[in-house]
Structure 1
């Protein structure tokens, strides 16, 4: 059943990156359930097709957001299909555990290209349409964007950048009535740890350690994060901009 606050989302056109799994999949499906038109973007078409199954207003679009022409192509696909664009969800990102002793320029470049440059270029491509719609951008950060963690400094730096971009864009775009906010999830069940190349044993260890640190005593799930992304997309949040919402079980308080 659609929550009452989601009824304003019906008919909106939204781009979601990283829609093939985790928070991106949960967000895409929640938007689809609420009646939004969603371009579900990711690198794996099969995963995107699974996300879209059963949601007739969700359309898979396979693309690597790091590609030089990806941003305008993604935005064009949404606008051509639905005639406009109301919201951009910059969810796609990569995690890398990188102690200082293991830093390489290639690994740093990959983190910043994926987590900072690609969302920026997507926002730039979407901007004329978002201005016309007086729409919104929602960036997905992380607890590590404002809480330090050994071995995750460069990943955290990319998320700190996203949080600063969120605040700066909010001020810059406020005269156009375009809202910009971010959600900062804590440890959330997803494929991120496996995608980072960690072994099953290490993943289990990390999950146990993370759950022990969270004041509410557990890791989160993607649906809980998606709920807050939808709240920012909803036009009823028309007086909220420049905010970074921690959805982390209280982890940032520790």
Structure 2
């Protein structure tokens, strides 16, 4: 009887080992991924979207701070989370393309137990290098007469490709926050210029129609070429509008 029991146990263990043998390669490789976005084919797990306003030139110091910020976000991005970077200028066109939109593929089990140097090179090729290429574009000076910040926010967060079904969504806005478009401006003395209620109404409309309320918002205000007083005035207008809308926002100077 004991011999029979041992035989049964041995048979079961052999079966488990056989299943493990065939399953191991799949487990070590990680989940199937989209070849373009590197996201799991089941979809990304959360998204961080960086929206950069390049309607005004920045100093080298500010460009360096932007690079540090984006690099930090990329380095700390969890596996399977999507990082999307959009850049807009004064010639605003709805549907403008993303500079980069990739998931961090992370490290699979085979990479962790394999050759660390070789697997790091693979990760750089898949995710690190495209991010570095995007940083070169982000820090290139630009200038324009318009600054359609509200319009750009509404455009990118409303897109189908930015509606991840799993995980949270974070919107990181890098701008001087000096809105200047046909819908609202902080410049001049015309009717509605710097009117806090008009800005609130515009933001409320965009937040409702685009689904921006489902995003956690952080603003990194860039000084650019403008005096601190003008920037502070713009910051106050935006922050007052967000408070009246009950929109939580993290705000700092870049």
Report the TM range for the smaller structure's normalisation.
0.3 to 0.5
TM value normalised by structure 2: 0.38
Structure (1 or 2) with the larger CA radius of gyration: 2
Task: Give the helix-richer structure, 1 or 2.
Answer: 1
